[in-house]
Amino acid sequence: MKNTNYLIEKPTEKFLATPFPLIENSHYMPAIDEAIKKGKINIESIKSNTEEPNFDNTIKALETSSEELDYALSVYYCLFGAHTNKELQAMSTEISAKSTEFSNYITLDDELFKKVNFVYENKSKITDKEDLKLLEKTYLGFVRNGAKLNSTQKEELRKIDTELSSLSPKFSENVLNDTNSFSIHITDSKEVEGLPKSLLGLSSQMAKDKKLDGWLFNLQYPSFGPFIKFSKNREHRKQIYMAFAGRALNGDNSNKDLVKQIVNLRVKRAKLLGYKNHAEFVLEQRMAQEINSVTGLFDKLYDPSKQNALKEVDRVKTIAKEMDGIEELMPWDFSYYSEILKQKELNFDDENLRPYFEVNATVKGAFDVAAKLYDLEFKSVEYPTYHKDVQTFEVYNKTNNEFIGLFYSDLFPRESKRSGAWATTLRNQGLYNNEVIRPHCMIVCNFSPSTEESPSLLSLREVQTLFHEFGHALHMLLSKCKYTTLSGANVYWDFVELPSQVMENWVSEKECLDLFAKHYETGESIPEDYITAIKKSNQFMSGYASLRQLSLGAIDMAWHTLENEFSGDLEDFEEKAMEKYSVLPKVKNTSTSTAFGHLFAGGYSAGYYSYKWAEILDADAFEYFKENGIFNKEIASKFKSEILERGGTDHPMTLYKNFRGREPKPDALMKREGFL
């Protein structure tokens, strides 16, 4: 009988494209079981090899031992985040546990580690730089995951890792369920006065989809963001803010206990491996290297951020009191009155930009920027997908028609998709099935969708988000590495945001906007005074925005520098950790941690500081472009060859210095933020 599990069989689609419509929920568990079985056979083959351990028969063999499992998990987690369902959610705990068990099966095997250690001790025999880097990463992967522990300690580590693997998917599931459980239904037209046309069209469509009259607003960002910014009804703003800021805090979907469990397991794990805390363990493999470097970064940015934030909030308080007699500015007031202040001071409304950012034209604009910088061409070609909203493209080098990779875009919200925006890979660039293959990457977003009245028209923030995630995609697409473990975005986490954040800078430049920012009805180019306003708006409330990022990094470091298990009150702990960064009153029954997926369902634990760290890098890098022209081919070629193509094949600071000619300086960031 023909095997119809398309996660096990080699896909027949061109370039090994994933045949999504043929993959059923029932395929995942058998595919993962079969892939683990094959992976273990491969591991046993390495162990039983009687030849002297060397790079090829040990390190390279390990690198390729679990290719089928890696692929099956990539497909599963792609769907788990972008288009989940009850069946996929139900199997997440078991799948996480199985993959964790397999990982521990490798890293905690004494016999296997002896072979790896032998190759490492004889690394002087290895002359290829990328081979040497893979060896070092493999060796450290074993050591940092318990290879040197005794048998009792290894068993304890297995239990911790298995438990942790089950908690993160549950955390995500609770946030998604709580996000989908809330909405505001309004039928009185007076209560939606002042809301932008784009939001009214979206909310009207959502109401119709639920067979309701009037307008429906929810916690997905295309609805929540504009609503809290433009709604004149203070009670409604408070209602939606409390729901958003209280996600997964209380009730059936509470993550309060999960946060404590995850934090405490990380404390135990770090101690078991010989570290003071989880942050010390994490930072050992980061550019920052130690906790003092992170706190030093915060200290350097704190004073200018706080001073500017206090001045900004005072201006907002003044206008709130003048307009509506607001005596105490609350968090649900800030976006509304700061937007009014922005329109007053800059004589500009963000909503005026939307007609110039029709989604398809904006995506093409991102492609045009990649063409001018890196000579890339994105060809729209139909490939099988998991949802009608997903678009697919083949990417080529325009000069020699070399195939670069497959690119998927999934841009609009739905109840089956988690909130936020991210980039991911279905297939990493590098060695697969004895060939070095090109990558399949994807960006997933939650942008303002089209309505009956208009096509999808993006806000400035959404355009910046698109370029950000596209920057991650370029990092994945342009990779030229031998091994998937080192390719693309497989770099230190405080370096991974450089390629993404640097791309946002182009959105503020006339030379870039003139490529694509045309009025969707008239075809008129975006007016020059709008571009000037965009530049000014980037500095508007920059102190507040910087302070908020620092506060998120602070709560991250507070949780992950704990040296003993936590048994206190989560909200009190948060308030103390973020107190010095606060410029608005703390509201009871709200929490940052319980919906903070970056920390508790992603890879940013003890690493959220990376965004501010990378801001210094990206501002400094873009300054180099600006000095020579934002589409300067020589600078772009250096960024491509020294950063984007190299993945994790060298230390990030070495790569950056190869590109910039020196270490990064914070001056460009301070200038961009308006702090100087």
Known catalytic residues are: 469
Alpha helix segments (H runs only) across 144-213: 151-180, 197-209
Q: At what angle do helices 291-324 and 610-628 cross, to 10 degrees?
A: 80
Contact (CB, 8 A) for 595 and 175: yes
Tokens of 217: 């607003």
Partners of 407 in beta bridges: 393, 441
Q: How far apart are CA 232 and CA 227, in angstroms?
A: 9
378 beta partners:
395
Between the alpha carbon of residue 590 and those of residues 238, 251, 369, 585, 587, the distances in Å are: 12, 13, 41, 12, 6
Contact between 15 and 438 (Cβ < 8 Å): yes
- Position 192, amino acid: V
Rounded Cα distance, 22 and 13, in Å:
12
Strands 376-380 and 422-427, by their bridges, are: unpaired
Given a contact cutoff of 8 angstroms between Cβ atoms, the answer to whether 113 and 147 are in contact is yes
Residue 423 DSSP SS3? strand
Q: Is 525 exposed, middle or buried (0-12, 13-18, 19+ CB in 10 A)?
A: middle
Tokens 């089209």 belong to 450
3-state secondary structure of 404: strand
Residue 422: enclosing H or E segment and its boundaries? strand 422-427
The rounded distance, in Å, linking the Cα atoms of 467 and 549 is: 20
Please report, for residues 17, 124, 161, 581, the alpha-carbon distance to residue 269 in angstroms, rounded to integers and kept in the order given: 38, 33, 8, 30
**Which residues, listed in sequence order, are joined to residue 187 by a DSSP beta bridge?**
none
Taking the C-alpha atoms of residue 141 and residue 284, their distance in angstroms, rounded to an integer, is 12
Distance of CA 58 to the CA centre of its chain: 33
**Three-class SS state of 441:** strand
Tokens representing 157?
């580590």
Record the tokens describing residue 603, joined without a space: 């890879």
- Measured CA to CA, the distance from residue 670 to residue 647 in angstroms comes to 28
Phi/psi of residue 2, nearest 5 degrees: -70, 135
Beta-carbon contacts of 331 under 8 Å, excluding residues fewer than 6 positions away, are 241, 245, 584, 585, 587, 590
How many other C-beta atoms can be found within 10 angstroms of the C-beta atom of residue 191? 17
3-state secondary structure of 482: coil
Residues 6+ apart with CB under 8 A from 93: 165, 166, 169, 170
Do 168 and 262 touch, CB atoms closer than 8 A? yes
Q: What are the residue ranges of helices labelled H in 56-150?
A: 61-63, 67-82, 86-90, 92-107, 110-121, 129-143
CB atoms within 10 A of CB 508: 20
